[in-house]
Amino acid sequence: MTAMREGTPRIVRREDYAPPAYWIDTVDLTFDLDPAKTRVLNRMRVRRNPDVPAQPLRLDGEELNLARVLVNGQGASFRIDGSQLVLEALPEGPEPFELEIFTTCAPEKNTQLMGLYVSQGTFFTQCEAEGFRRITYFLDRPDVMATYTVTLRADKKRYPVLLSNGNLVESGELDGGRHYAKWVDPHRKPCYLFALVAGDLVCRSQPIVSRHGTEHLLQIYVRPADLDKTEHAMQSLMAAIAWDETRFGLPLDLERFMVVATGDFNMGAMENKGLNIFNTKYVLANPATATDTDYANIESVVAHEYFHNWTGNRVTCRDWFQLSLKEGLTVFRDQEFSQDMAGSPSARAVKRIEDVRVLRTVQFPEDAGPMAHPVRPDQYAEINNFYTVTVYEKGAEVVRMMQTLVGRDGFARGLKLYFERHDGQAVTCDDFAQAMADANPDSELARRLPQFKRWYSQAGTPRVHARGHYDAEARTYTLTLRQSCPPTPGQPVKEPFVIPVAMGLLDAQGRALPQTERLVVLHEPQTTLVFEGLDAAPVPSLLRGFSAPVILEHDLSDDELRTLLAHDTDPFNRWEAGQQLALRRALAAVRADGPVHDPLDAPFLEAMRAVLRHPTLDAAFKELVLTLPAETYIAEQLDAVDPQRIHAVREAMRRQLAHALHEDWIWAYEQHKDNGAYRPDPVSAGRRALAGLALQMLCLAARDNGNPVWPGKTYQRFKDATNMTDRYAALSALVTAGHELAARALEQFHARFRDEELVLDKWFALQAGAPDRGGDALPRVQALLQHPDFHLRNPNRARSLIHTYCHANPAGFHRADGAGYAFWRDRVLELDAFNPQVAARLARALDRWKKLAEPYRSAAQAALQAVAAHEPLSTDVREVVTRALA
């Protein structure tokens, strides 16, 4: 396998970028599709890049069998150098020449799911980032853009549907039961956006007319049994198209826009021009099989891939270091879309809180660990390791800060200028920031652009330290804000960032103080603000809406935090105040000596009760406030992490909430359990979420008092539920509480959904993530590994069991005997032998091993060393474990 290399992998550096020595203007591909041996005829029109000194043409290729190379129709001399095909004696001068390359490959043996592969009898491709080289020899880099003509030939019975990018221009019969289809994509594109699909699929079709009167055909292709699960994805696609036209004036530029779903996919989805390929998880939904979370994810991923058509495809990346140019921007766009779809200010805030929760529980740890890298990385061994929460989610925060600094209209102007300048080009993050600044010359962004761009070049989460002082005599309030950023690998010293801090002041009763709302833009290490004419000490509400991706350190008292929780006009900070109160209690209990008991005090519980019973707050918001900070988030605040202790503390807090608010949970459940016919809108989803949390709490309380009433009701609800959200919530309440009815419910759930792959993934994941009781999580996971429905080769299934256990069940995974790490080591190596990308994601479960207390730390280190010492090892996994051990 070519992905397996011995020794130190080659490091690719951003500063080494050089333009290509040749351009490829047109590509004409003919595929004879056969799972065992697919023939690929690649005819390119190539010319020398006049701006670069003459040199040989070096084409990338991987796992290809080369049969023929012709230059202008004549046999050409070539050599193979490592994985490259090198052509030296090419025609001189600027004239284009024809290069014809004939290769074969074996899609059915492609277990990495990069390039051309077979999933359940259907051919699919995945080319981003460097998969096209596994299909044919090519200049596999995003700054080489060509127009593509693609002819697909295959057996008609087995592969009745033949799809590629662009427009279908011809199709017909061939001898021997075969047929063909010819597709032409009029848009120039980099090869990572190439795609083909061939198989026995059906589609939901939807003709639409745009605001400008142009007609388009939208299609979603799935296996015949899944056609009843495509309506929501189609609705989401239509909404996304309309939104991009209205908000940014960006229309659909294709006659035909296709989405195809596959059950075997390494990531979420892929924005191939006009032919998006999706993981089934982000397409298929009906009320019986998908939860509210699935519905929301589908809406945002369908939109995300669609938005890439402009931000990614029309304007693409010059090199892979610029990945956030398209990903950060497109995540920002899909987040804004979901907020606009959510509608009410409070539903928007819920979406914002959910996004920030992901950032803080996943990206902040990444930015503080061995894999920390700037939003625009400086180097990589394997680019697939850099499709990270930093490039995506932190990248989106950087774009969001730009919008905050230039305003919503200014941002739309900046995007317009960006397309005017760069449509059809492969550009850099600098080009994007420059367009934003140039379109808003009087903005704080334009004034401080070079400094603002440190968000692209410096890794690590900045800290903003706030100290307030009230002077009663002078009636002034002085607020001092200091910023700093810890060192990260390769970056020992950081320069100050430009940090927009949205803020306001409240009085002690929680009323907003007039004229104190503002956007403070920090750019110096320290900034002091003075507010005048105040009759009493105010309560500051800082970093409203999470206006910058930083850690805010303040010295607010519990009373002040409770004031914010009860009264702040900013819903984000209301939620955040509740999280801070909970976090303080969790940390105090974790740090205390002796057995854990009752970390929560009466004032905290009363504040939570007040939120739960609040007459006007939305159910979705209440559910977020009443959910305690995650164990991994608590762990990040500590220097020596004992995952067992953290788990014990958080569980003790949950049980206190369950008992102290018992009557309130019953009330909440009864008030929110009935929502009529299933609709996935945010209001009814929020009600279901709160009812689900109430059931969790009621089952948890029942565990202690032995009262069978609520587990019984929960089990009944599990059986009677009319949608997956309610059914799964009831099942999960029983499983999480460890109730004896859980086993029976799990069995029934399996029997009922044995033919629904995505539901079985939930079934595995629920058990893999269930709280550890006396070390029972690992044996449970090991048993499930032997289950006839467990398939290691299917990425979704592997992730549902193995990744869930290693990444999302800290107390089950971090065992004092190190058995969780040994399990991790064995699964990483097992996966790495056939799918390095999936293995490398799993490998990252031990990123934070240096923070662990003993005996975890040494056991984790030993497991990492064992993986690092293994031969062979993919570049992907090698990079992750080498950085972890460094």
Q: Which residue is nearest to ligand ARG (CB)?
A: 387
Measured from the CB atom, is 143 or 327 closer to ligand ARG? Answer: 327
- Bridge-based pairing state of the strands 97-105 and 167-173: unpaired
Q: How far apart are CA 694 and CA 373, in angstroms?
A: 40
Helix axes 292-308, 682-705, angle to 10 degrees: 140
Nearest approach, Cβ of residue 304 and Zn ion (Å): 6
Q: Side by side, which strands form the sheet with 161-164? A: 115-119, 122-126, 196-199, 161-164
Q: Which of 28, 62, 63, 128 is in the footprint of ligand ARG by CB under 6 A?
A: 128
Number of residues in contact with Zn ion, rule: CB under 5 A? 2
Catalytic residue from among 305, 366, 444, 576 = 305
Nearest approach, Cβ of residue 280 and Zn ion (Å): 18
Measured from the CB atom, is 165 or 632 closer to Zn ion? Answer: 165
Q: How far apart are CA 229 and CA 238, in angstroms?
A: 16
- Plot region of 82 (φ>0 → left; ψ -120 to 50 → alpha; else → beta): left
Helix residue spans in 618-756 (DSSP H)? 619-625, 631-636, 643-660, 662-672, 682-705, 709-720, 724-737, 741-752
Q: Residue 855, preceding bond cis, omega within 30 degrees?
A: yes
Q: Which does 636 bind (CB under 5 to 8 A by kind): Zn ion, ligand ARG, none?
A: none
Helix axes 602-612, 558-567, angle to 10 degrees: 10
- Residue range at the interface with ligand ARG (CB under 6 A); choices 136-144, 266-274, 344-352, 648-656: 266-274
What is the Cα Rg of the chain in Å? 28
Measured from the CB atom, is 181 or 240 closer to ligand ARG? Answer: 240
Q: Which does 566 bind (CB under 5 to 8 A by kind): Zn ion, ligand ARG, none?
A: none
Nearest approach, Cβ of residue 19 and ligand ARG (Å): 23
Could you say which residues in the range 301-320 bind ligand ARG, by CB under 6 A? 304-305, 308
Q: Which does 732 bind (CB under 5 to 8 A by kind): ligand ARG, Zn ion, none?
A: none
Could you say which residues in the range 269-328 bind Zn ion, by CB under 5 A? 327
List 185's β-bridge partners, or say none: 148
Asked whether the beta carbons of 33 and 159 are under 8 A apart, the reply is yes
Q: Which of 27, 85, 105, 129 is in the footprint of ligand ARG by CB under 6 A?
A: 129
Residues 6+ apart with CB under 8 A from 755: none
239 binds ligand ARG, rule: CB under 6 A: no
Measured from the CB atom, is 270 or 381 closer to ligand ARG? Answer: 270
- Residue range at the interface with ligand ARG (CB under 6 A); choices 15-23, 39-47, 104-112, 262-270: 262-270
Max CA separation in the chain (angstroms): 96
Asked whether the beta carbons of 883 and 845 are under 8 A apart, the reply is no
Measured from the CB atom, is 327 or 355 closer to ligand ARG? Answer: 327
282 binds ligand ARG, rule: CB under 6 A: no
Nearest approach, Cβ of residue 136 and Zn ion (Å): 24
Q: Which of 28, 60, 63, 271 is in the footprint of ligand ARG by CB under 6 A?
A: 271
Write down how long the chain is.
886
387 binds ligand ARG, rule: CB under 6 A: yes
Number of residues in contact with ligand ARG, rule: CB under 6 A? 12
For residues 429-467, b (16+ Cβ closer than 10 Å) or e, as one string? bebbbbbbbebbeebbbbbbbeebbbbbbbbbbbebebe
299 binds ligand ARG, rule: CB under 6 A: no
Nearest approach, Cβ of residue 409 and ligand ARG (Å): 27
CA atoms within 13 A on the CB side of 325: 27
384 binds ligand ARG, rule: CB under 6 A: yes
Nearest approach, Cβ of residue 837 and ligand ARG (Å): 6
Nearest approach, Cβ of residue 17 and ligand ARG (Å): 20
SS3 state of residue 733: helix
Nearest approach, Cβ of residue 883 and ligand ARG (Å): 18
Measured from the CB atom, is 130 or 757 closer to ligand ARG? Answer: 130
Measured from the CB atom, is 195 or 765 closer to ligand ARG? Answer: 195
Q: How far apart are CA 467 and CA 52, in angstroms?
A: 56
Scan for tokens 């306001």, then name that residue.
504
Q: Residue 872, preceding bond cis, omega within 30 degrees?
A: yes
Residues 315-344, mask of contacts with ligand ARG (x by CB under 6 A): ------------x-----------------
Asked whether the beta carbons of 481 and 464 are under 8 A apart, the reply is yes
885 binds ligand ARG, rule: CB under 6 A: no
Measured from the CB atom, is 458 or 837 closer to ligand ARG? Answer: 837
SS3 state of residue 169: strand
Nearest approach, Cβ of residue 491 and Zn ion (Å): 26
132 binds ligand ARG, rule: CB under 6 A: no
Residue 336 annotated in active site: no
62 binds ligand ARG, rule: CB under 6 A: no
264 binds ligand ARG, rule: CB under 6 A: no
∠ CA 103-104-105, nearest 5°, is 130
Task: Give, for 404, the enclosing helix (H) or strand (E).
Answer: helix 395-422
- For ligand ARG, the binding residues (CB under 6 A) are 128-129, 267, 269-271, 304-305, 308, 327, 384, 387
- For Zn ion, the binding residues (CB under 5 A) are 327, 330
Q: Which residues are catalytic?
A: 305
